[in-house]
Amino acid sequence: MKVILIEDFSSLGQKGDLREVADGYARNFLIPRGLAVEATPGQMRAFEANREILDRKSAKEEKVAREVAEKLSGRSFAIKVKAGESGRLFGSVTTADLAEVMAKAGFKIDKRKIDLAEPIKELGEHEIQVKLHPEVRVPIQVVIETEE
């Protein structure tokens, strides 16, 4: 089934992309969650009519993302957690924890935009990528320290 993506979806593409997916995936997952619509001729015409508006909106979002990236660039965030003698954490630091620390510093970043391959489980400095826009990524430093 051909679908038009309404929202950015990391495994399929960006808003406005036309994709061929399995019927069940479209009917049971993408369409009910509002991530895509079926690509009927009427939907295609309506989408093409709104394409210019979406492009302007995307350009504005990219500009804002670049401004935030400039402010975030070179920043370091410290997180205090409980750890054992060997430097291994009790638990882990997740994207939600990172988003919370960034929010306290004045950066409202969605946890889904923080690119963390696996939760952090050791003390020390870690470099993490934040994907603010499909074309804007910024590295940040996170320092995991032990709680006193």
pTM over 0.85: no
Query: Domain range holding 82?
Result: 70-146
Beta-carbon contacts of 40 under 8 Å, excluding residues fewer than 6 positions away, are none
Distance, CA of 120 to CA of 28 (rounded, Å): 34
Residues 55 and 22 in one domain: yes
pLDDT per residue as tens, the chain (148 positions): 999 988 887 788 888 888 999 999 999 999 999 899 999 998 888 888 888 888 888 889 899 999 999 988 888 999 999 888 888 888 889 999 999 999 998 889 998 889 888 889 889 999 999 998 888 899 999 999 988 6
**48 and 100 both lie in a single domain:** no
Quote the CA–CA distance of 53 and 83 in Å, as a whole number.
50
Structural domains counted in the chain: 2
Residue 15: phi and psi, rounded to 5, are -55, 130
